[in-house]
């Protein structure tokens, strides 16, 4: 029966034992809660290795004890669907564990699509059926039930056992190196996550007036700052639909503004927090009056850059031939670069050149 590590001294000793075994890789997983916060609140960190699996209480252990392992450049840290895990580690340490691998990315090159679940991989390669009944468990509650500890333990064990199998399958079909670019991008994910472009791409609106659309995006950047400051999900500050209504109703008097919030977003932090409500009203007034200006590339955000249809069709066909997601073959940036200058093909990795050369 797996036990929860609640002592920093025991954790330090366990990490030293793992390092003494000179592992080539370890599995890494986290369990967290994020329903009511901007940042994920980590409850457990799991590490799988050759001799066992650690389930670590992230609420009581000094997590600096993990750094000699997580940032050892001779040990691959293996995740499954790593983005939120990396966000946790980046907030914790200011950098992400590296070198790293992601089973979900690797499996995409084996014909599993872009977002294959750990359950599907476990069933395919290990003939194990994972029970994901605790996916949304309360990982911050203490004492933590044994069933939750078992669940966390099994995920880390599964990731550890899958890694060599997936790597062998990639090697057997000559695709072991194909994951390199995507894993490099993954390492940068926490920084990409903070970019204005990434923030705005998550926003949804049904606005048609370009001036309104621009104001919506400016307001969305303000909302993101408030979400970080208050550590609340952005939709808890104010939702996209209400932002659209406020912008379409500008210029506003305070009574109308408060009425829209109360009717369309009654649980929003913008309504319930007096200072935030006042700041939002003033900010809306300033952006509507043109006192605040932000450079917003609407063409980029609304995917209006022109990409030749024949090029899109060729790339789609090449991805289909390889049985992989189109985005694994070419990123949006690579596709746009090719659409502007086909000579950019020579700057792509060799396997991408080979896949596309007969079709372009």
Q: Does one domain contain both 209 and 139?
A: no
Instruction: Check whether 228 has a pLDDT greater than 60.
Output: yes
- If one counts the domains in the chain, the total is 3
Same-domain pairing of 224 and 322: no
> What's the CATH code of the domain at 271?
1.10.150.80
Kindly state whether residues 81 and 184 are assigned to the same domain: yes
Give the Cβ contact number of residue 136 at 10 Å.
10
Which residues make Cβ contacts (< 8 Å) with residue 346, sequence separation at least 6? 353
116 with 78, same domain? yes
Of the candidates 193, 214, 230, which is a domain's last residue? 193
Residues 291 and 164 in one domain: no
Give the end of a domain, one of 268, 300, 332.
Answer: 300
Give 96-99 contacts, CB < 8 A, sequence gap 24+. Answer: 96/187, 96/189, 96/190, 97/28, 97/70, 97/71, 98/71, 98/73, 98/187, 99/73, 99/75, 99/183
Sorting pLDDT into bands at 50, 70 and 90, what band is 308? confident
- Which pLDDT value is given to residue 271? 87
pLDDT score, position 343: 83
**137-141, 168-172, 302-306, 327-331: which has the minimum mean pLDDT?**
302-306
CA–CA dist 88, 95 (Å, integer)? 10
Question: Are both 35 and 142 inside the same structural domain?
Answer: yes
pTM assigned to the model: 0.91
- Kindly report, residue by residue over 83-99, the tens digit of the pLDDT: 999 999 999 999 999 99
Least confident of 30-44, 86-100, 188-202, 218-232: 188-202
Which of 42 and 292 is assigned the larger pLDDT? 42
Q: Could you tell me the two tokens for 158?
A: 């599964």
pLDDT of residue 202: 87
Residue 360 has a pLDDT of 62
Domain that holds residue 201: 196-300
Same domain, 113 and 211: no
- Checking if the pLDDT of 359 tops 80, the result is no
pLDDT at res. 168: 98
* Percent over 70 (pLDDT), the chain: 97
70-85 per-position pLDDT tens digit: 999 999 999 999 999 9
pLDDT per residue as tens digits for the range 123-149: 999 999 988 777 778 999 999 999 999
In the predicted model, is pLDDT for residue 305 greater than 60?
Answer: no
Query: What is the per-residue pLDDT for 65?
Result: 98
* pLDDT score recorded for residue 16: 98
Whether residue 303 has pLDDT greater than 80: no
- Residue after which a domain boundary falls, among 160, 193, 226: 193
Q: Which of 118-122, 279-283, 303-307, 338-342 has the highest mean pLDDT?
A: 118-122
User: 346 and 269 in one domain?
Assistant: no
pLDDT score recorded for residue 302: 64
Query: If we measure between CA atoms, which residue out of 118, 113, 139 comes closest to residue 41?
Result: 139
Give the residue, 257 or 142, on which the prediction is more confident. Answer: 142
- The per-residue pLDDT for 336 is 83
pLDDT tens digits, 169-201: 999 999 999 999 999 999 998 888 888 888 998
Assign 345 a pLDDT band (cuts: 50, 70, 90).
confident
Q: Are residues 151 and 247 in the same domain?
A: no
In this structure, are 77 and 201 located in the same domain?
no
Q: Are residues 115 and 217 in the same domain?
A: no
Do 160 and 37 fall within a single domain? yes
pLDDT value for 77: 98
CATH of the domain at 78: 3.30.420.10
What's the rounded mean pLDDT across residues 268-292?
A: 89
């Amino acid at each position: 029966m797996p036990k929860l590590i609640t002592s920093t001294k025991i954790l330090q000793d366990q990490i030293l034992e793992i390092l003494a075994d000179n592992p080539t890789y370890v599995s890494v997983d986290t369990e967290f809660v994020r329903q009511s916060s901007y940042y994920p609140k980590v409850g457990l960190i799991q590490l799988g290795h050759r001799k066992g699996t650690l389930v670590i209480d992230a609420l009581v252990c000094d997590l600096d004890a993990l750094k000699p392992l997580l940032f050892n450049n001779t040990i691959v840290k293996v995740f499954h669907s790593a983005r939120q895990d990396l966000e946790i580690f980046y907030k914790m340490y200011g950098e992400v564990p590296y070198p790293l691998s992601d089973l979900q990315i690797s499996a995409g090159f084996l014909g599993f699509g872009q977002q294959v679940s750990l359950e599907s991989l476990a069933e395919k390669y290990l003939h194990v059926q994972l029970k994901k009944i605790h996916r949304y468990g309360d990982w911050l509650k203490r004492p933590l039930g044994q069933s939750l500890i078992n669940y966390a333990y099994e995920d880390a064990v599964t990731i550890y056992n899958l890694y060599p199998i997936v790597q062998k399958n990639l090697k057997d079909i000559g695709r072991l190196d194909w994951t390199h670019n995507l894993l490099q991008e993954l390492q940068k994910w926490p920084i990409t996550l903070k970019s204005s472009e990434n923030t705005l791409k998550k926003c949804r609106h049904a606005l048609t007036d370009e001036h309104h659309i621009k104001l919506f995006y400016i307001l969305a950047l303000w909302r993101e700052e408030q979400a970080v400051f208050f550590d609340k999900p952005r939709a808890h500050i104010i939702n996209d639909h209400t932002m659209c209504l406020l912008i379409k109703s500008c210029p506003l008097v305070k009574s109308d503004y408060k009425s829209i919030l109360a009717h369309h977003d009654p649980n929003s932090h913008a309504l319930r927090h007096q200072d935030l409500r006042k700041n939002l009203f003033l900010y809306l007034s300033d952006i509507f009056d043109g006192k605040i200006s932000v450079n917003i590339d609407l063409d980029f955000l609304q995917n209006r850059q022109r990409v030749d249809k024949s090029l899109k069709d060729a790339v789609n066909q090449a991805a289909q031939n390889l049985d992989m997601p189109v985005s694994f073959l070419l990123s949006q940036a690579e596709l746009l670069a090719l659409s502007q200058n086909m000579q950019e093909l020579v700057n792509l990795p060799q396997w991408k050149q080979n896949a596309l050369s007969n079709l372009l």
